Chains A and B, each alone.
Chain A
Amino acid sequence: QQKVQQSPESLTVSEGAMASLNCTFSDGTSNNFRWYRQHSAKGLEVLVSIFSDGEKEEGRFTAHLNRANLHVSLHIREPQPSDSAVYLCAARNYNVLYFGSGTKLTVEP
């Protein structure tokens, strides 16, 4: 069973500064990882899916995967107040997604 841990629990950044979120997982057999954004307990919006070691960029969102270190990160370039939300990391094992507990991001104007 995959265990996913996210850090920090909450993060406050100023508008325009880089925001960095982290995720570690327990089982190295996962073959893909996703970052989701959730505004105020609403639906989940997938931001980036990454399947191999290295970097994957989707607009202002960049994911970095290092499977040897069981680590995936998300970097948000030039965050805006509208990016304030909960960010969830998920690891996929055998067609099942396992989620971390989330990072609450606040972007201050």
Chain B
Amino acid sequence: EAAVTQSPRNKVAVTGGKVTLSCNQTNNHNNMYWYRQDTGHGLRLIHYSYGAGSTEKGDIPDGYKASRPSQENFSLILELATPSQTSVYFCASGGRGSEVFFGKGTRLTVV
């Protein structure tokens, strides 16, 4: 069964600190995505990747970096976390033309 695993599931970070959210998929999908979800906004695309070594900017990339060191792993990095980045973050993977599978989400609180 398709699986996307996010870690951590919950994170409290301090303003100005560095935060790394990790995502692992066992689906052998080329494409991976990071979204954030806030009330009234649905899911908004931050970064995505077409394969190992590639990262692309989504609709709201400011303040975020992404890293895709391997087919299986895709990280989202907040170099200087701010309270406005408090949100629920979802990772997803998908193949060309295939279904997109989502992780269970990471709740990030920046204080």
Residues of A participating in the B interface, judged by any CB pair closer than 8 Å: 1, 4, 6, 34, 41-44, 46, 49, 88, 90, 92, 95-102
Contact = CB atoms under 8 A, between A and B. Distances in A.
Given A43-B105, A46-B99, A96 B41 contact: no
19 contacts: A1-B59, A4-B42, A6-B42, A43-B90, A43-B102, A43-B103, A44-B90, A46-B100, A88-B42, A95-B31, A95-B50, A96-B45, A96-B48, A97-B43, A97-B92, A97-B94, A99-B42, A99-B43, A99-B44
A55 B95 CA distance: 24
Contacts of B40: 101
A6 B45 CA distance: 17
Contact of B42 (A1, A49, A96, A102): A102
Interface of B: 31, 33, 35, 37, 40-45, 48, 50, 58-59, 88, 90, 92, 94, 96, 99-100, 102-105
Dominant SS among interface residues on chain A:
strand
Q: Which of B43, B48, B59, B88 counts the most A-chain CB atoms under 10 A from its CB?
A: B43
Contacts of B37: 41
Given A43-B105, A44-B102, A95-B96, A101 B41 contact: yes
